[in-house]
């Protein structure tokens, strides 16, 4: 009989792989429509848009400094899972457009779909001891130490990034982008509850 408070290696691999695929699909939708978002993904998207750089390279590079914080607070196991998650997500976001060609999409639906996909993805990875790195790491630290919901912390970061996005995106695109980011943050704020999920 397995310990219900711990995930097995197979469960960790399955859960993190699921999260990576859902996140890559969400990012594919996001960049296909030229939307922005919050958090590290949003910062990477803005830098990639502004510098005409590959999103995958920018995303992975921005995440590297946050890994040191994750190593210090959560330990090497968390840092390794986060490194593997961000590396795999970077690679898959580079490959996915060749495997799945998207056509026209209703922007409101696409924005909400991105938020749901990325929320599910982040939740899956975090519940299996990892993360997608970046601003999620200090958000998780604040949640664990002072019981401040990670989703609300990320919403504050989103506001700062969207202020920057307003300088380079058309107002309509910015509005749909904000809808997607709000959907994602609300998803985490409601569903990321350690008191309702005991496995680690």
Residue with tokens 């993360």: 131
Whether residue 6 has pLDDT greater than 90: no
pTM to 2 decimal places: 0.82
Which whole number is the average pLDDT over 115-141?
83
CA 174 – CA 169 distance, rounded (Å)? 6
Whether residue 2 has pLDDT greater than 60: no
Residue with tokens 């830098």: 47
Max Cα-Cα span within the chain: 56
Digit-coded pLDDT (tens) for 73-97: 888 887 888 888 889 999 999 999 9
Mean pLDDT estimate for the chain: 84
Min mean pLDDT across 32-41, 66-75, 91-100, 126-135 is at 126-135
Confidence of residue 198 (pLDDT cuts 50, 70, 90): low
Digit-coded pLDDT (tens) for 148-181: 877 677 778 878 888 888 888 899 999 999 899 8
Whether residue 136 has pLDDT greater than 80: no
Whether residue 11 has pLDDT greater than 90: no
Residue with tokens 């949640």: 143
- The ranges assigned to domains in the chain are 9-196
Q: What are phi and psi of 23, to 5 degrees?
A: -65, -40
CA 142 – CA 125 distance, rounded (Å)? 18
Whether residue 189 has pLDDT greater than 80: no
Whether residue 7 has pLDDT greater than 90: no
Position 192 scores a pLDDT of 61
Position 172 scores a pLDDT of 92
- Look up residue 106 and give its DSSP letter: -
Which residue intervals of the chain are DSSP H helices? Answer: 9-32, 39-51, 55-74, 76-99, 107-127, 136-146, 150-165, 171-191
Confidence of residue 114 (pLDDT cuts 50, 70, 90): very high
Residue with tokens 């779909």: 113
CA 9 – CA 102 distance, rounded (Å)? 34
CA 85 – CA 184 distance, rounded (Å)? 19
Percent of the chain predicted with pLDDT > 70: 92
């Amino acid at each position: 009989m397995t310990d219900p408070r711990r995930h097995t290696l197979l469960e960790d691999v399955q859960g993190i792989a699921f999260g990576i695929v859902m996140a890559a699909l969400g990012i594919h939708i996001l960049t296909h429509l030229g939307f922005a978002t919050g958090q590290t993904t949003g910062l990477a998207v803005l830098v990639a848009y502004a510098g005409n750089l590959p999103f995958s390279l920018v995303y992975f590079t921005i995440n590297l400094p946050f890994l040191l914080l994750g190593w210090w607070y959560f330990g090497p196991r968390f840092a390794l899972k986060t490194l593997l998650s961000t590396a795999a997500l970077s690679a898959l976001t580079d490959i996915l457009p060749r495997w799945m060609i998207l056509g026209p999409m209703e922007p409101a639906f696409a924005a909400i779909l991105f938020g749901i996909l990325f929320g599910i993805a982040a939740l899956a990875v975090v519940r299996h001891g990892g993360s997608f790195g970046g601003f999620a790491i200090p958000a998780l630290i604040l949640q664990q130490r002072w019981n401040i919901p990670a989703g609300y912390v990320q919403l504050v970061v989103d506001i700062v990034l969207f202020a920057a996005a307003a300088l380079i995106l058309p107002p309509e695109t910015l509005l749909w982008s904000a809808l997607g980011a709000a959907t994602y943050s609300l998803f985490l704020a409601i569903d990321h509850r350690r008191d309702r999920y005991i496995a680690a």
